[in-house]
Amino acid sequence: MHSSEHVAQSIFSQQVKSRIKLAITNAKRRGAWFSLDRKEKSILYLSVKLRLKFESLDLLRSLASILKRLEEKGETVYAWFQRGIRLAWAFSDFAVSCGNTTAKAWRNDRSYALFLGRIASSPRVGVAAI
């Protein structure tokens, strides 16, 4: 390996580690950290602590999968939207079953889904597990 390749690999590893550290910190602050199982937490901790080169595609895939789960559980617009879509569909199904045929449009209303997701994520509401 040439010295420039070694330097580039080292910089890449440092960037990956700093992003993982930031993700861990943010997940702990939001409470999403506790939704991970022991193996996932261990993978993140070890990837930060050990001197890894991050050359393994399997390792990078598992890290990406874990970080994606943290993001979905977190307080991001993406997470709000995902929760909101599930709620919008549930509310729509209920309203349609009660006879409101126009409620089918709620399923495709992005603003409504985002609103529901944000409200469901609020600690005051208590339905964040939805």
Model pLDDT for residues 45-89, shown as the tens digit of each residue: 888 888 777 777 888 888 888 888 887 776 677 778 888 999 999
Same domain, 88 and 104: yes
pLDDT at residue 126 is higher than 60: no
DSSP 36: S
Tell me if 129 is assigned to some domain: no
Tell me if 114 is assigned to some domain: yes
Instruction: Give the integer Cα–Cα distance in Å for 31 and 41.
Output: 13
Tell me if 127 is assigned to some domain: no
Same domain, 50 and 87: no
Instruction: Give the integer Cα–Cα distance in Å for 13 and 53.
Output: 6
- Domain range holding 45? 3-73
Same domain, 16 and 56: yes
0.75 exceeded by pTM: no
Count structural domains, the chain. Answer: 2
Same domain, 113 and 68: no
pLDDT band at 128 (very low <50, low <70, confident <90, very high): very low
pLDDT in tens, 9-47: 677 778 888 888 888 888 887 777 887 889 999 988 888
